[in-house]
């Protein structure tokens, strides 16, 4: 891409880290579409985040396998094209937490559908759109340090995020010749509604307590993740693809 992206879709882009990413792209002058699971959650999230009237709001229940592809199509219609896809929507917090002995098929299917399946399908749809446009687009999926480490209650969540990382590398290899870049960003313990206090959770993924403290000895802020995403989407990162960027304050090295 020769200039900063102008048309961006952020799934889950009206809450938590997703809202910070949306706000960062808006500050850069981009047109942004965001998705939430239901009309009510979309309305409430846009109002509480201050994004109401600034973005194109779309409804997509990403547990439905057809929704991810349809979401990309709707975003293209709303924005007049697409330059960047940010896969941020995920099942986190209490919905993601399940000790291994209590894992059942509905839990596994729901986690796989939203945290992995939707990422795959939306990314494939975005690649197809970039090729139709003849543009070198960017796909950034929000993964987690839990793809590289774990804690009680995070078994399925960990597996889905590791899958996102593996898929990203494979897609980056295939899409690279078309100039399409594909990356992951792995936050650590970021202070959001899903992770309200230091040490309570790692990126809101499980809600389980952990005693590991990052090297910087504080929680991260959503805007610190958003700044990295913005950089990776822009022309300054034009030779970066197929890698995971960790934003964890040194959690993994402890």
Active site amino acids: 157
Whether residue 6 contacts residue 29, with contact meaning beta carbons closer than 8 Å, is answered with yes
3-state SS record for 128-194: HHHHHHCCCCEEEEECCHHHCCCCCCCHHHHHHHHHHHHHHHHHHHHHHHHCCEEEEEEECCECECC
Q: How far is CA 193 from CA 92, 140, 241, in A?
A: 11, 22, 31
CB atoms near residue 47 (< 10 Å) = 12
What tokens does 217 get?
A: 């000895």
Sign (positive or negative) of CA dihedral 114, 18, 231, 244 = negative
Give residue for tokens 């929704």: 67
């Amino acid at each position: 891409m020769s200039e900063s992206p102008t048309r961006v879709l952020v799934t889950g882009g009206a809450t938590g880290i997703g809202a910070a990413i949306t706000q960062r792209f808006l500050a850069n002058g981009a047109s942004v579409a965001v998705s939430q699971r239901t009309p009510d959650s979309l309305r409430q999230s846009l109002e509480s985040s201050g994004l109401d009237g600034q973005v194109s709001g779309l409804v997509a229940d990403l547990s439905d396998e057809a929704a991810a592809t349809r979401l990309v199509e709707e975003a293209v219609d709303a924005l007049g094209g697409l330059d960047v896809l940010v896969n941020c929507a995920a099942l986190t917090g209490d919905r993601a937490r399940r000790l291994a002995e209590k894992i059942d098929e509905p839990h596994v299917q729901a986690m796989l559908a939203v945290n992995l399946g939707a990422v795959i399908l939306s990314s494939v749809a975005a690649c197809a759109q970039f090729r139709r446009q003849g543009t070198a687009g960017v796909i950034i999926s929000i993964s987690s340090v839990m793809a590289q480490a774990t804690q009680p209650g995070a078994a399925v969540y960990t597996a889905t995020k590791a899958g996102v990382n593996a898929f990203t590398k494979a897609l980056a290899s295939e899409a690279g010749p078309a100039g399409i870049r594909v990356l992951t960003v792995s936050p650590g313990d970021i202070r959001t509604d899903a992770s309200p206090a230091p040490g309570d959770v790692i990126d809101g993924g499980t809600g389980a307590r952990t005693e590991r403290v990052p090297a910087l000895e504080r929680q991260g802020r959503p805007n610190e993740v958003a700044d990295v995403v913005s950089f990776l989407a822009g022309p300054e990162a034009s030779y970066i693809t197929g890698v995971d960027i960790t934003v964890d304050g040194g959690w993994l090295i402890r």
